[in-house]
């Protein structure tokens, strides 16, 4: 089943798929790959053979030329970017930028990193053309770097795109490049990682010539149907030690050190089974918010993992805001009342335009017994397990701070960064040391709530900005119970205490003033 209907809303190919007949008229180089043949319900249409790598490459080239004014060399033997799919990822990042209002003029230009840009340099080129991003595009392959650099120059985009050749033998993927551009505040990073491990490549691909692989179209031995289109790629584009799971875990490792030096970290994932372990890894990291979205095109589905260390950045595009509205009819000063209630809960207040923001780092709205019960439960559980990616014998000592396992939602005892001398080769390495305590989950969170007072509705509106929805609902429920109960309003006056409610206590005069009579 085609997933084209679920393509990104703004993808120009969603409602206007490439018209091969038109392309054949416009581009002579494309014409030679076209044939008249049956296509879906239409008996005769101009089409191309998607199993012919040259035809697919030519299609991508002419689409880039016609629709984006990009003149891109896509060398034979290298991965051919499928343009509609590439646009989906670029637009997804653009959505994240827009949702977080990161492109307003006062915030300066957008800087992004494309990890593993490939010979086509496709994301950087499209990002610059479509969204005016400034891109730092990296690759560990010398050939890819050469061709990508030529592609940038050919399109006069050297002022927008910088290509960096990185060292594949380094475990860190982002640390060095970010360190070398310390003056730049990166808005995002993106990545289409090599998906496979070497044993998977040999199962799915056959080596055509040295270092160049072609996917098996005919003798596909798995239960799934053989792919309909040819994929020819160099080994560095297909495989990496540990596959995409290890690669993206390495980006997460770097992000732990870099924190908000990059506002939004993202990576595409080609395999569904990578999603859960990566989500679990991010779940264990303190202060990290993440989301997984899908990208659909043709018969292909991909996933984008996005995470941030900033609690004011939204990474979940699809999520609807979680809100609650409480009536404040009859209250003289609902704003002061709400501020007072939340201050009693030790929530920290800040203001943004017409919105009040309240941060809670502890759950202060549950009864002592409820809190003790949940702490007991958590301490009975085994400490959170941690995936160990690699070990480096760095013979160093470090101060892990004062963390006592109870209040380590602060930095103390959790993440420490030290410069250490490696005992093996004497090279200096940056080592991130994380100490994980069996920290009660209750204490590992930051809940941020936006509070508004729309004058037209006589309500106080609560919106979850970040943090677990469960605690947000609890908090609002608690505030609801603090609201004076059982008052009625007929639009002109409050008629006070219902006779049946013996426990009813009058609210504080300060907030209800003389409107409240009984
Ligand atoms: C699947 S290809 C993606 C190419 C292109 N971005 C695209 O989407 O068509 C993965 C790329 O990652 C590069 N790569 C592998 N290890 C890398 C590393 N440590 N740092 C940067 N790039 C790396 C490979 O050389 C390859 O060009």
> Does residue 124 have a pLDDT over 50?
yes
Write out the two tokens for 378.
Answer: 């958590």
Compute the half-sphere exposure of residue 269: CA atoms within 13 Å on the CB side of its CA: 24
For residue 247, how far is its CA from the centre of ligand 1 (angstroms)? Answer: 10
Query: Residue 461: which pLDDT band, with cuts at 50, 70 and 90?
Result: very high
- Could you please state the CATH topology (level 3) that the domain comprising 323-368+445-497 is classified under: TATA-Binding Protein (3.30.310)
- Indicate which atom in ligand 1 lies nearest the CA of residue 250: 19
Long-range CB contacts for residues 379-383, cutoff 8 Å, separation at least 24: 379/438, 379/440, 381/438, 382/438, 383/436, 383/437, 383/438
86 is in an annotated binding site: yes
For residue 240, how far is its CA from the centre of ligand 1 (angstroms)? Answer: 9
Distance CA 468, CA 488 (A): 33
Instruction: Calculate the alpha carbon distances from 222 to 216, 217, 227, 326, 368 in Å.
Output: 11, 11, 11, 56, 57
Distance CA 61, CA 82 (A): 10
Q: What is the pLDDT of residues 472-508, one digit of tens each?
A: 999 999 999 888 764 433 332 233 344 444 444 444 4
For residue 171, how far is its CA from the centre of ligand 1 (angstroms)? Answer: 14
Instruction: Calculate the alpha carbon distances from 429 to 236, 496, 512 in Å.
Output: 25, 70, 62
Q: What is the pTM of this model?
A: 0.72
Distance CA 14, CA 11 (A): 5
Residue 508 DSSP label = P
Q: Enumerate the CATH 3.30.310.80 domain ranges in the chain, comma separated.
A: 323-368+445-497
What's the gap between Cα 260 and its chain centre?
A: 13
For residue 389, how far is its CA from the centre of ligand 1 (angstroms)? Answer: 20
- Pocket mutation for ligand 1, best pick of 56, 61, 140, 191 (most atoms within 8 Å of C-beta): 140
Is the interface score ipTM higher than 0.85? yes
What's the gap between Cα 118 and its chain centre?
A: 21
Pocket of ligand 1 (CB under 6 A): 79, 81, 115-118, 120, 122-123, 138-141, 144, 166, 168, 173, 192-194, 236-237, 240
Distance CA 241, CA 196 (A): 8
- The helix-helix angle for 469-482 and 334-344 (nearest 10°) equals 120
Distance CA 34, CA 55 (A): 8
pLDDT value of position 488: 37
Query: Residue 6: which pLDDT band, with cuts at 50, 70 and 90?
Result: confident
- Pocket mutation for ligand 1, best pick of 88, 139, 192, 267 (most atoms within 8 Å of C-beta): 139
Write out the two tokens for 464.
Answer: 């979850």
192 is in an annotated binding site: yes
The sign of the CA dihedral 234, 238, 243, 247 is positive
DSSP-H helix ranges across 263-407: 275-284, 334-344, 368-380
Mean pLDDT of 24-37: 92
Q: What is the pLDDT of residues 350-375, one digit of tens each?
A: 887 778 989 998 888 887 777 667 66
> Does residue 263 have a pLDDT over 60?
yes
Q: Enumerate the CATH 3.40.50.150 domain ranges in the chain, comma separated.
A: 82-308
Distance CA 98, CA 513 (A): 44
Query: Residue 403: which pLDDT band, with cuts at 50, 70 and 90?
Result: very low
Residue nearest (by alpha carbon) to ligand 1 atom 23 = 116
- 328, 463 Cβ separation under 8 angstroms: no
Which is nearest to 20 in space by CA: 43, 48, 40, 44?
48
> Does residue 398 have a pLDDT over 60?
no
Output the average pLDDT for the chain: 81
Superfamily of domain 82-308: Vaccinia Virus protein VP39 (3.40.50.150)
Write out the two tokens for 246.
Answer: 């290890």
Distance CA 171, CA 169 (A): 6
- Indicate which atom in ligand 1 lies nearest the CA of residue 79: 9
Query: Residue 307: which pLDDT band, with cuts at 50, 70 and 90?
Result: very high
For residue 192, how far is its CA from the centre of ligand 1 (angstroms)? Answer: 7
Longest dimension (CA), the chain: 91
Within 8 A by CB and 6+ apart from 481, the residues are none
Q: What is the pLDDT of residues 163-202, one digit of tens each?
A: 999 999 998 999 999 999 999 999 999 999 999 998 898 8
272 is in an annotated binding site: no
pLDDT value of position 126: 98
- Pocket mutation for ligand 1, best pick of 204, 237, 238, 304 (most atoms within 8 Å of C-beta): 237
Which is nearest to 453 in space by CA: 338, 315, 317?
338
- Pocket mutation for ligand 1, best pick of 64, 143, 194, 246 (most atoms within 8 Å of C-beta): 194
pLDDT value of position 355: 83
For residue 419, how far is its CA from the centre of ligand 1 (angstroms)? Answer: 28
pLDDT value of position 396: 54
For residue 200, how far is its CA from the centre of ligand 1 (angstroms)? Answer: 17
176 is in an annotated binding site: no
């Amino acid at each position: 089943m085609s997933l084209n209907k679920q393509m990104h809303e703004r993808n120009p190919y969603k409602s206007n798929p490439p018209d091969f007949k038109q392309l054949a008229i416009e581009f002579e180089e494309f014409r030679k790959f076209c044939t008249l043949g049956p296509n879906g319900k239409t008996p005769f249409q101009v089409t191309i053979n998607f199993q012919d790598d040259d035809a697919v490459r030519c299609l991508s080239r002419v689409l880039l030329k016609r629709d984006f004014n990009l003149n891109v060399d896509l060398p034979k033997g290298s991965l051919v970017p499928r343009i509609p799919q590439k646009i989906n990822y670029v637009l997804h990042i653009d959505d994240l930028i827009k949702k977080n209002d990161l492109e307003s003029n006062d915030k300066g230009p957008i800087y992004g990193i494309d990890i593993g840009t490939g010979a086509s340099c496709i994301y950087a080129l499209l990002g610059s053309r479509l969204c005016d991003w400034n891109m730092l595009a990296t690759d560990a392959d010398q050939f890819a770097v050469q061709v990508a650099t030529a592609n940038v120059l050919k399109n006069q985009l050297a002022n927008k795109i910088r290509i960096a050749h990185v060292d594949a033998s380094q475990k860190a993927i982002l640390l060095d490049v970010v360190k070398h551009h310390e003056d730049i505040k990166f808005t995002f990073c993106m990545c289409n990682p090599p998906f496979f491990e070497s044993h998977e490549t040999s199962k799915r691909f056959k080596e055509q010539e040295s270092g160049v692989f072609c996917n098996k179209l005919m003798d596909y031995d798995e239960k799934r149907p053989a792919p309909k289109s040819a994929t020819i790629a160099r080994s560095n584009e297909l495989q990496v030690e540990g596959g995409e799971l290890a690669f993206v875990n390495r980006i997460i490792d770097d992000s732990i050190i870099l924190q908000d030096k990059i506002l939004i970290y993202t990576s595409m994932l080609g395999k569904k089974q990578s999603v859960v372990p990566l989500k679990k890894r991010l779940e264990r990291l303190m202060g990290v918010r993440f989301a997984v979205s899908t990208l659909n095109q043709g018969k292909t589905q991909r996933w984008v993992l996005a995470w941030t260390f900033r609690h004011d950045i939204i990474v979940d595009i699809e999520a609807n805001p979680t809100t609650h509205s409480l009536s404040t009819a009859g209250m003289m000063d609902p704003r002061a009342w709400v501020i007072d209630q939340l201050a009693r809960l030790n929530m920290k207040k800040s203001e943004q335009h017409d919105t009040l923001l309240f941060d809670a780092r502890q759950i202060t709205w549950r009864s002592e017994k409820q809190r003790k019960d949940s702490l007991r439960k958590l301490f009975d559980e085994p400490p959170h397990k941690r995936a160990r990616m690699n070990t480096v014998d760095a013979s160093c000592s470090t101060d892990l701070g004062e963390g006592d396992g109870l209040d380590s939602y602060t930095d103390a005892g959790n993440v420490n960064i030290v410069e250490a001398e490696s005992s093996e080769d004497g090279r200096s390495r940056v080592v991130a040391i994380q100490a994980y305590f069996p920290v009660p989950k209750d204490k590992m969170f930051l809940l941020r709530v936006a509070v508004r007072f729309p004058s037209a509705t006589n309500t106080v509106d609560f919106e979850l900005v970040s943090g677990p929805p469960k605690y947000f609902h609890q908090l609002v429920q608690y505030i609801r119970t603090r609201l004076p109960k059982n008052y009625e309003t007929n639009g002109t006056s409050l008629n006070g205490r219902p006779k049946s409610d013996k426990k009813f206590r009058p609210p504080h005069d300060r907030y209800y003033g003389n409107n409240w009579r009984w």
